Amino acid sequence: MTASLADRIAVVTGASMGIGRACALGLREAGAFVYLLDVDKAGGEQVAGGLAAARFVTCDVTSETGVAEAIQVVAAETDHVDILVNNAGGFPVQRDLENTSLEEWHQILDLNLTSVFLVTKAMAPLLRRSHAGRVINLGSLAGQTVHGRTAPAYAAAKAGVHALTRVMATELARDGITVNALAPSAVLTERIESVRNEAERAATAASIPLGRYQTPEEIARWVLILASDDAGFMTGQTVSVNGGRFMA
């Protein structure tokens, strides 16, 4: 069953590729008008151009000024936002602790964690005007447990996303806004293909009880569930969607 999100207004960060692109396409298919936020202007415009009701807005989610400017564009066109998907994230190179520079540490935390803080904070006034405000944060299995190699800063940032999700859920509940997180395991995106070689990808797939990577579309379907009216009494939760790789 596909959730009906007709007449809802959604914002997706990191929407030019991978999970973000799949979320934007899924939300639009479910009936929402979608704002796509990304630093990748060409990629974002290409995705938005293929949708009947969508708008691309250039946004550096690690910049407070950049986020404010992007939200101003959204606010000039609508008086409310119903769904916010904080998807932007990732890491460029897989390094161990001793080979991670302080500069790279801050860059990864800014992209994966600080962005969730900045965008949600700026978007809160628009979400409050919705009758069914939903915030969905993309966390990760890496923020729940150690399961093979990962970037230390990425794991720390995603653990922070899960914690911040609970704090935001508590604070925004009085406004009827729910805040939940998804914790995927290994999703076969362009980024994964760039940071892990074929042997590493095969080993990861073999470590998952279901025996394969997830697709971005499978994560997008969970976003639709959390954005729907059916999830209206669920908040402050991190949903583990990992093929059985981590069972709490």
**Tens-place pLDDT, residues 214-245:** 889 999 999 999 999 999 999 999 999 887 77
Q: What is the pLDDT of residues 78-114, one digit of tens each?
A: 999 999 999 999 988 888 899 999 999 999 999 999 9
Average pLDDT, the chain: 92
**Domain ranges (residues) in the chain:** 9-241
Kindly state the average pLDDT of the residues 18-45: 96
11 pLDDT above the threshold of 90: yes
Burial 132-170 (b: 16+ CB within 10 A, else e): bbbbbbbbbbbbbeebeebbbbbbbbbbbbbebbbebbe
When pLDDT is cut at 50, 70 and 90, the band that residue 212 belongs to is: confident
User: Rounded distance, CA 20 to CA 59, Å?
Assistant: 14
pLDDT at 145: 82
204 pLDDT above the threshold of 90: no
Kindly state the average pLDDT of the residues 61-77: 98
User: Rounded distance, CA 244 to CA 225, Å?
Assistant: 20
User: Rounded distance, CA 189 to CA 212, Å?
Assistant: 13
User: Rounded distance, CA 65 to CA 78, Å?
Assistant: 20
pLDDT at 152: 93
pLDDT at 33: 97
Active site residues: 154
Q: What CATH number is given for 9-241 in this structure?
A: 3.40.50.720
**CB-neighbour burial class of residue 107 (10 A; exposed 0-12, middle 13-18, buried 19+):** middle
